[in-house]
Structures are given as structure tokens and as C-alpha cells.
Structure 1
């Protein structure tokens, strides 16, 4: 062989050996594939195990609200609900203020003094007729030489007293204006304890005009005796100051459910006890004052006070005064008599008289028992009109 052929043979030998090298490379690839398959299997097994564990764990504890996972999901939801509730409450009060606010006025009572007219009191009022008619408390405008009204816009107008009813502590005044915004009167018979109560008025004078306070209705049909009269009122813990008198107490939709009138607290160390005349009672009085100029009520014809005579074991209403030409006077009732029964109902307090009279009308004749000088006397009293109590 020549050298070239020898080289060719060697090359062929190398080619043959190369076949061995190629075989060696295939084994490495096979090992690599096996490794990849193994790792993939492990990963799949791990993932499957994790999913299965999570499913079992979730299945086992899904009803347990105390787990950390559930707490993290529940608490933000509750917080959002609380925020929504707070926003709803806030928005409802805001809407009430926007609806009713323009119908509330500040009232200034001026009287003659050494140096001319001067302020003697202030209060609030509610526009109920677009032609300038405003309802307020009688004590706000009583004995006023001049009355001025300030609107929510800041405009001030003089007003005149139309009619007043001292027993209910309500009065109607009028300004010369037209197309005024008016408040909507609601139905106080539908009011429940715990309902939202919003008071709007001018506490402590004009510098605090349009103040809004909110609370709840604390009690219904409270009977408050004040200056010889018995008031049936709503009780609320909404802050009511002296200047709020005559202003509205509203429900959460902007309807007037009461007219703020009385407040206990300053002299009795009581807080959160405001009172408003229920609007259903006020509506009848307003209607009577507008139509007839007075409020007609059945009247016994006496003035008195609750009393307990320990030595005689007698409890009832002690008569201080008998009104001339009244039913009581005609029946022979005298001062110092004690009313112990009226219309077959025992009388223990002055308020009990109103409970009986509210069920009757002018002209009714009712049986009255009085204690006089150790004896019980029975008489019939014809109920008269309470003319002397109207102005």
C-alpha cells in the first residue's frame, strides 16, 4: 500500500471508532431525558400534593370563622359595612338638613325698655304656609312688642302675631312674603322609640342659627306638667337648647314629627332630655287657630294641683280656684275641695284630669266626686269651652 491508502485506512478506522463515539453521545442524551422526566414527575407530584392539601384544609376549616385566613377575609368586609352604615346615617341627616333647613326661621322677641326696644328672647319657627305663616312656641313670642324673623338666607322681616294657644304653647305668626318653602308635616303616630330624630333651630340666638343636632326618639306620649298645663310630648336625646324652641324635630326622611318645646337638664342635672309637641296634636291646634282663631277644648272650670292628705288618706287634685260661670261653678264646686274621681275614674294626679277630658267634648255632662270636710260629695259637671285660656 502506498501512503495515501494507509491514510485512507486509518481514516476509515477512525470513522469506525467514531461510531463508538456517536453511541456514547446517545447514552448521555438518554440520561438527560431520564433526569428531566424525573424532575418533572417530582414537580407534578409536589404541585398535586399542594393542591390536594389546600383542598383538604379548606374543606376541613371552611366553617371555622376563627382561622387567621377567614379573619383576614371577614374583617375588611365588616369594616366596609360599618363605613357604609356610617355614611348612610350621615347622608340621611345631611338630606334632612337640606330639605328642612330652608323652612326653619329664627325669631327675635323685642320688648319696650328704658332705652327703647330690646331683645328679651329668641327662638325658632317653622314655615307651614307659603304665604308667610309660621308656627312657633307661644312662650317665644308672648308679650312681644315687636317680632322679627330671620330666614336661612339671612333676610330679616318683621312679623305679627296671628293667634296663640297658651295651653299647648303654640302660636302662629305671619310675615309679608309669598312663595316661601314649607315644611312637610309627618305622622307622629307612626314614630317608634329608637327612630332617628333630627332637631334644627337657633340655639342660644342668631349667631348659632341653623344648627342641626341628631339623636333618637327616647320615649312616646310623655306627659309633662308645666305652668299649670299638661303637655303630651315626644322625648328625644337630640340636643335642644332654649333657642331651639318652636323649631322642628324631624324623622330621617325630612318630615316634621314634633315641635321642639321643652327641655329639662339645667336645673335638674339631666342631659339628653328634650321634648317636642307631637305633630299630630300640633296639626289640630294649628288648624283650629287658622280657621277659628282659638282652640276649643272641654274644660272643668278649675285650677288645682296634685295632693295627698296623709291624715285623711285622701289623694287627688286640690282645687285652688273655680272659674266663674264655668261648669264646675254651676255644679257647686268650691276651692279647697279635692277631686278624687271623675267619670268613674280615680284621680290621683293632676294629669289624670286631662286623660278623662280628652275623651269628651264640650257640652258633655260627667260625674265628679270631691272630698269636702271629711265627706264625699257627688256632682254632675257640664263641660264648658276653655275660652279664658285662648288668646
Structure 2
């Protein structure tokens, strides 16, 4: 008798393969017939096939003679899974096939074209891909900001083959969300869930566009952890849900569903073991909790941007610890430029100041200043502790509102200032004058 691998060591299955010839307890005969190795391999293959299908019960579909005996191959039968989406309300537990059937039409693939200028002044076109999902029946779509960042054109595609040119309504870089709009009606939006109710160990599924070409793929896993503080490539620190659901390049911006079919997160990142874009660590994916961005999404739809965000009007960089120790300077956020029309200028903050605390909370880096500023809204008044020429000062500041117009004006002013600095450096090259230079050189500034 032959047994399937998973049955070895147990009682044989009922109705095993029947063979005739020598008695069971007779020692095996040695045949020197040419080609016997191929027949043994064929016999083992048949056994493997039978062992693989008999376990679930089945019917005979083929019989034949083998070495004078009779062999039977069994084929399993099963009733096809019935998937009904008629009663999907978000209030009942669903199976993964039901979630997929109900909402694959609400998930979109996003492709963008980005045009840049190379060193010779020639336009260079590149493409990027990601995912998104429909949040209103009249064509608003939510995705990650980094999916559409710097895009010249945006196109979204649905599982039925239809595609639309999309317009960027507004984005929020710090929280990595963006809202798109397409000219369509009668769409099926997802149901927005409550990420605060999610518990570690709960099953979740994701639908997206991995690698930009395996469109409308579903992956599954569990919530591995909540409230993970993750530092992104751009230095932003974000609160995330951790999941072992497979998330790869192209999944960014797609929905993470709980088993009620409600979106509780936006798949956004995967931990990488190297500095390259190819993630080499498995089972460590991250999603933005939907509760963290619900109100922001509404703001973007209604106003084109997130209202009430505080604006300082400065660019800053971090004073390295080594420089602080060597030159006797405080660690903190070094002010590299000040918007003359901002609250920072009104409060008396100057270029070269080192911000060491915001409203009594110590900050030792630009990233910490970013995080602390998020605790306030436009119109709030705070104290700012700065070190200037080795002396400590405490200033009072009332936050402005961060609007797209303010941000654009600041970026334009910064670009102009950088061009002027480059020109001044060229003019002063070879000059032995007494210009002051920060001992740690040029640093990459943060916008505030």
C-alpha cells in the first residue's frame, strides 16, 4: 500500500490504490528492465496526485492498468463559494471574498506622469503608480500624498476597465494624504470605519495595485500593533497601524479593511532593510489610521486644504550633538530663514536663533519641533525659547494659519534666498573676508 505524505504513520485512507501481483509481505522483486526508473517515478507521481485529492473525498475520474494492476485517481468535488453583496452594510462580519466582491469596484489604480528638467535643461518624463479608493459617489478619491507628489498628470482606473483623468483637490504632506476628483457619478464608495476600535490580532485585508501592474490584488493578515511612531523617508514622524498584510510598492494609498468591510486605514509604507526603494523585510507593513485623517479629508474637500493648521513662517534645521558639544551651543532647531510677513517675525525670531523649547517643551531637533507644533492650532499663543548669541530669550508667539498661499510664498522666498546665497558664495570665493559660516555647513531646512 502507498500513503500520501500527510497520512504517513496513520491508518491508510479508505479504498487505497489497488494493485495485484505478489503478496503484500513478499520481499520486493528486483527488475532490471530498461526504463524502470521512469515507471517508478510515474507511480510516485500518481500516488502524490491521489494523496493530494483524496483527503476531501472525491469521485474516480480515471482508471487504468499499471504493472498488471488497477490504479484509480480521485478528483475532489466542492460546491463553489457563494458570494453575496446584497446585504453588505458594514454591520455584519464578512468573508474576504465578500469584501472583495463588494469593494473591488471602489478601489482604483493610480498612475502619474512627472516631468522634470535634467542638467542640460531638457524635459524628462517619468511615471509612478499607486492605489486609492472612492469615498463619495460623485467622484472624490482618497490616496497618499506621496503617490501624486509632483505629478503633472494623474489618471485613475477601475476594475471594469474605465479610466478617468483626475484633478488634485488638495493634499496634506505632513499626514501623507491627498484627495482627487474625477468627473463621474453613481460610484460605489467605501464605508469609513473607526480605527480606534481596532484591536491587535484582528484580521484585516487590503486591496491595491502592487508593483503598479498586479492590479486589484487582495492580501490578508492581522493588526500587529497600534500607535506605532514611524519616521518616514522625509523625516516626518507619523502614527501608524502595523500589519503583517502584504504591502508592496504600488499598494500605497489603498484601503485597509476590517472584516466588517469598513476602511480602518490607508496602506502607506513598508519597512525596508536598506536605503533602496526595494523593501527586504517581510511582514512589517503600516497604514494610516483612518480616524487620524477623517476631518482633514472633509476639510480638503470643502476648502482645498486642511484648515486651522499652525504656521510659524520659518525654515529650520537640526544642530548636531557633536557641533553643540564642540562649540558650546545648545541643541535645538536652527532658524535658517524667517518669512517677514509671519508670526515668527512679529514675535521677534531671527535668522541664526536656536529654538530650544516650544511652550515649555524641550526640543533638540527640527523633527521634535515639527511634532510639538502639531499639538497646536492657528490662533493659539505659545512661548518660544531661543538661544541667540549665547543668551537665552523667551518670546511670545501667536500662530498664523498655514494656507497654500502662505506656503507657496514661503517656498518662493526660500528659493530666491538660496539663489542669492549661491551668487554671494560665487562672488566671495577666494575672498579672505570675515563672513560668518555655521561650523556644520549647509543643512536641509524644514518648512514651518
TM-score of the aligned structures, taking structure 1 as reference length:
0.69
Look up the SS of the partner of 1:315 in the other structure: coil
Question: For residue 420 of structure 2, what is the aligned residue in structure 1?
Answer: none
Look up the SS of the partner of 2:174 in the other structure: coil
The answer to whether 1:210 aligns with 2:221 is no
**Alignment partners' CA distance in 1, 2:333 and 2:190:** 40
Matches within 5 A, 1:39-58: none
Matches within 5 A, 1:167-182: 167-182=174-189
The answer to whether 1:281 aligns with 2:284 is no
Which of residues 184, 209, 216 in structure 1 aligns to 2:191? 184
Bigger drift between 102-111 and 190-199 goes to 190-199
Deviation at 1:266, TM superposition (A): 5.2
Instruction: Mark the runs of 5 or more structure 1 residues left unpaired by the alignment.
Output: 1-86
Question: For residue 267 of structure 2, what is the aligned residue in structure 1?
Answer: 260
Deviation at 1:225, TM superposition (A): 4.4
Which of residues 314, 322, 325 in structure 2 aligns to 1:310? 325
Instruction: Assess, with a 3 A threshold, how the Cα gap between structure 1 residues 328 and 230 changes in structure 2: closer, same or farther.
Output: farther
Which of residues 234, 240, 243 in structure 2 aligns to 1:236? 243
Deviation at 1:104, TM superposition (A): 0.5
Deviation at 1:357, TM superposition (A): 2.9
Q: Deviations over 1:363-388 (max 9, x none)?
A: 11101111233221111111111124
Look up the SS of the partner of 1:359 in the other structure: coil
Deviation at 1:215, TM superposition (A): 2.1
Corresponding pairs, count: 302
Question: For residue 153 of structure 2, what is the aligned residue in structure 1?
Answer: 146
Question: Which structure carries more helix by proportion?
Answer: 1
Question: For residue 84 of structure 1, what is the aligned residue in structure 2?
Answer: none
Question: For residue 382 of structure 1, what is the aligned residue in structure 2?
Answer: 398
Bigger drift between 220-229 and 145-154 goes to 220-229
Which of residues 120, 128, 131 in structure 1 aligns to 2:135? 128
Structure showing greater radius of gyration is: 1
Question: For residue 245 of structure 1, what is the aligned residue in structure 2?
Answer: 252
Look up the SS of the partner of 1:204 in the other structure: helix
Instruction: Assess, with a 3 A threshold, how the Cα gap between structure 1 residues 231 and 367 changes in structure 2: closer, same or farther.
Output: same
Matches within 5 A, 1:349-388: 349-387=365-403, 388=406
The answer to whether 1:348 aligns with 2:355 is no
More RCO (CA 8 Å, sep 6+):
1
Please say if residues 103 and 126 of structure 1, whose CA atoms lie closer than 8 Å, have aligned partners that are also in contact. Answer: yes
**Alignment partners' CA distance in 2, 1:218 and 1:158:** 36
The answer to whether 1:199 aligns with 2:206 is yes
Bigger drift between 358-367 and 112-121 goes to 112-121
Look up the SS of the partner of 1:100 in the other structure: helix
Q: Deviations over 1:130-187 (max 9, x none)?
A: 0111111222223333222110222222222222223322222122221111111111
**Alignment partners' CA distance in 1, 2:289 and 2:246:** 17
Q: Deviations over 1:246-274 (max 9, x none)?
A: 11122222111111223331525543332
Instruction: Assess, with a 3 A threshold, how the Cα gap between structure 1 residues 332 and 157 changes in structure 2: closer, same or farther.
Output: same
Instruction: Assess, with a 3 A threshold, how the Cα gap between structure 1 residues 180 and 301 changes in structure 2: closer, same or farther.
Output: same
TM-score of the aligned structures, taking structure 2 as reference length:
0.61
Deviation at 1:204, TM superposition (A): 0.8
